[in-house]
């Protein structure tokens, strides 16, 4: 089993756990928790595949994603109090998943002969829109719109991938470097509470 695929599954698991925890805090029933976990874990990739008309849809073509989501929900249901203290570990898996999802989405866009800019956007959608759908369905302002450097980290990693790919480097090396860029930016942003600037007043207002 390839390392990238293993990281993809770990990222799916972490995303599903985060969705399940949000739904549990909202007092959703077990079915509601399952739906939110599912949307969080594969919603971004599913939206990407619909937009580029890729078939089969990501989770339909590989049932391991569904099995991973089911396992995450069952573990959350049985051991929620034990999972909560593991927030740092889950954050690490979540961040790795963010990087892997971004680059896999970007690669798929390029495979479908999309313009690199469009493929870059597809990579970002793959990584962040599961969380957007989760937050919308649980009546929260999506994280990427409110605070923290999240989607922009995906863009930085994607641009790194496109730049290195232009020079014809080995794909595995490009993938590792680009994913590392996303992980480092995300970790540093959270560690030092870095945020993108917000529009408050006109630049030249008195």
- Quick check: is 129 in a domain? yes
- Quick check: is 200 in a domain? no
- Quick check: is 196 in a domain? no
- Quick check: is 199 in a domain? no
Whether the predicted pLDDT of 201 surpasses 80: no
* Per-residue model confidence as pLDDT tens digits over 6-22: 989 988 999 999 999 99
With H, G, I as helix, E, B as strand and everything else as coil, classify residue 23: helix
Enter the pTM of the model.
0.91
- Quick check: is 201 in a domain? no
- Quick check: is 204 in a domain? no
What is the CA 188 to chain-centroid distance, rounded?
17
- Quick check: is 146 in a domain? yes
Is 109 within 8 Å of 51 (Cβ atoms)? Answer: no
- Quick check: is 206 in a domain? no
**How many folded domains does the chain comprise?**
1
* Per-residue model confidence as pLDDT tens digits over 62-101: 999 999 999 999 999 998 888 888 888 888 888 999 999 9
Range of the domain at 160: 3-191
Alpha helices, H only, the chain: 3-25, 30-51, 58-61, 64-83, 87-111, 116-137, 143-146, 151-166, 171-191
Among 105, 115, 129, which Cα is nearest to 54's?
105
**Alpha-carbon distance 12 to 28, whole Å?**
21
Whether the predicted pLDDT of 204 surpasses 70: no
How would residue 52 be classed by pLDDT, with cut points 50, 70 and 90? very high
Residue 121: asked if its preceding bond is cis (omega within 30°), the reply is: no
Is 109 within 8 Å of 118 (Cβ atoms)? Answer: yes
């Amino acid at each position: 089993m390839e390392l990238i695929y293993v990281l993809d599954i770990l990222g799916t698991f972490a995303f599903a756990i985060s969705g399940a925890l949000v739904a549990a805090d909202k007092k959703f029933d077990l079915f509601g928790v399952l739906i939110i976990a599912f949307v969080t874990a594969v919603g971004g990739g599913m939206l990407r595949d619909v937009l580029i008309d890729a078939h089969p849809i990501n989770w339909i073509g590989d049932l391991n994603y569904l099995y991973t989501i089911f396992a995450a929900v069952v573990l959350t249901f049985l051991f929620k109090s034990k999972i909560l203290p593991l927030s740092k570990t889950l954050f690490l898996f979540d961040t790795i998943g963010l990087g892997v999802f971004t680059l896999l989405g970007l690669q798929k866009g390029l495979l479908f002969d999309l313009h690199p800019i469009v493929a870059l956007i597809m990579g970002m959608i793959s990584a962040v829109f599961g969380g957007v759908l989760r937050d919308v369905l649980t009546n929260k302002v999506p994280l990427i719109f409110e605070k923290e450097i999240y989607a922009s980290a995906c863009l930085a990693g994607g641009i790194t991938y496109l730049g290195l790919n232009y020079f014809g480097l080995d794909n595995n090396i490009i993938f590792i470097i680009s994913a590392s860029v996303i992980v480092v930016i995300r970790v540093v942003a959270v560690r030092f509470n870095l945020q993108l600037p917000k529009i408050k007043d006109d630049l030249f207002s008195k």
